[in-house]
Amino acid sequence: MALVRTLRDQFDWTLFVATCAIAVLGIVNLYSATSAAGVQSDLHIQQIYWLTLGTGVAVLIVSIDYHHFERNAWVAYGAGLVLLVLVFLLGRSVRGSMRWIPIGGFSLQPSELMKVFLIIALAKYLHNDPKTDGRTLKDLVIPGLILAVPMVLILKQPDLGTAVICALIFGTVMVLTHLKIRSLVTLAIFFGVSAPLSWSYLLEDYQKGRFTAIWARWSGEEIDILDAGWHTQQSLVAIGSGGLTGKGFMRGTQNQFRFLPDQQSDFPFSVWSEEHGFLGAFVLLGLYLFVVIWGLKIASQARDRFGAVVSVGVSAMIFWHAVINLGMVMGMLPVVGLTLPLFSYGGSSVLTVMMGLGLLMNVSMRRFSF
C-alpha cells in the first residue's frame, strides 16, 4: 500500500491530463473527419484501440525504472535498425513508399518507433560522455553516426518526413546539451552548401514538386492547385473559412464534401480549424505548447543526464511533429506526410508518442527517488 501511495503522489497528473485532453479532442475530430458526406467510418474506434494499446505500453514503461532502458539502450537501438532492414525484406509498398511491415491485421511502421530508439541511444551516449563544457564538431562524430545509420535506411524507403524529424531531434538534443555556437554555425553552413546535392540525389520527383509548389506560393507565382498545390489549397480554404468560432461540429464544408484530402492523417488540424475556428485552434496549440514546455521542465529536474536527454528528445519529437504538420497544413512547409501527435490517425504514430510520453512520465516520477 505504501508503494501504491508513493506512486500516486509522484504521478505527474499535469502531464497526464494535458495528454488525455489532446487524445480526446483527436478522437472527436477524427469522428468528424471520417464521417464526410454521410460516409461512416470506424477509424475513430480503431484510434481508441490504438490509444488503449499505447496506454498499456506507456504504463509498462512507467513501471520500469528508466535506468533499465539506459542499460539496454544499444539493444533497443539495434532492434530498431533490424526492423528498418526488415522493411525492405517483408514490407509492403503504399503510394510508392516501402515503410510498413504487415503483422496480422495491422501494419507496423518501424521508422516511427526508431525515433524513440534514437532518443534512448543518444541519451545513453551523452550519459556516458564525461564532457561538461561546450561540444565541438569532433565531439559530434559518434552521435552523428548514431543518427546517420537509421537516417539512411529511412531515406531509402523513402520517408523524408521521418528522416527530417530524426535530424531535428538530434539537432535539438545537441544544442540543448552545450553545443558550441561556432560548431552550430559551421553545421548550418555545411547543410546550406550541401542542399543542392540533397536536392539532386536524395529527393524523389514528387517530393521536389511539393517543395517547388511551396516556393511558388512564397514568391507569388501562379500555382497549379489541381496538381502539387491541391492539398495545401484545400487546407487553407478550410482553415480560413473557420473564422473566429468555426462552423460547428461536423459542419465544415471542405471536410464534409470531401475536398480535403487525407483529413484523418495529414490534415486533421484543417478539419478542427474549420469546425472550431481560431479559438479552437488556439486551445489545441496551447495544449501542445504546454506539453512541450512541461517536458523541458521535467528535463531540468531530472536526476541524471540520461533522464534529462530523454526528456529533451521526447519534447523535441512532439514539438517538431506539431510544427511541421502545422506548417504543412498552413502552406508554410511542403507536404511530407507527418502526423499531428495523438491527433492524427495512425497506429505506429500513436504507439511511438505514447512510448515517448511513458518515458517522460517515468523520468518525472523518479526525480523524487534517491
- 224-282 pLDDT, tens digit per residue, is 565 556 777 888 888 988 999 999 998 888 888 777 777 888 889 999 999 999 999 99
Q: What average pLDDT does the segment 215-222 reach?
A: 62
The pLDDT-based confidence of 293 (bands split at 50, 70, 90) is: very high
Nearest to 182 by CA among 132, 147, 134, 130: 134
Assess whether pLDDT exceeds 60 at residue 37.
Answer: no
The more confident residue out of 296 and 96 is 296
Q: How far apart are CA 76 and CA 82, in angstroms?
A: 10
Q: What is the pLDDT of residue 57?
A: 96
pTM for the whole thing? 0.90
Assess whether pLDDT exceeds 70 at residue 339.
Answer: yes
End-to-end CA distance of the chain: 20
Q: What is the pLDDT of residue 355?
A: 97
In terms of average pLDDT, the best of 111-125, 253-267, 356-370 is 111-125
Contact (CB, 8 A) for 154 and 163: yes
Q: What is the pLDDT of residue 228?
A: 57
- Using a 10 angstrom Cβ sphere, with 0-12 exposed, 13-18 middle and 19 or more buried, the burial of residue 334 is buried
Q: What average pLDDT does the segment 284-299 reach?
A: 97
What percentage of the chain has pLDDT greater than the value 90? 51
The pLDDT-based confidence of 193 (bands split at 50, 70, 90) is: confident
Cell (9 digits) for 16: 497526464
CA atoms within 13 A on the CB side of 41: 20
The more confident residue out of 30 and 200 is 30
Any idea what DSSP says for residue 92? E
Q: What is the pLDDT of residue 210?
A: 65
Assess whether pLDDT exceeds 70 at residue 4.
Answer: no
Q: What is the pLDDT of residue 3?
A: 45
Return the minimum-mean-pLDDT range out of 23-27, 98-102, 267-271, 278-282.
98-102
In terms of average pLDDT, the best of 169-178, 183-192, 197-206, 230-239 is 169-178
Q: How far apart are CA 203 and CA 161, in angstroms?
A: 11
The more confident residue out of 189 and 280 is 280
- Please report, for the chain, the start and end positions of each structural domain, with discontinuous segments joined by +: 2-368
Q: How far apart are CA 353 and CA 255, in angstroms?
A: 26
Q: How far apart are CA 85 and CA 105, in angstroms?
A: 21
Q: What is the pLDDT of residue 61?
A: 96
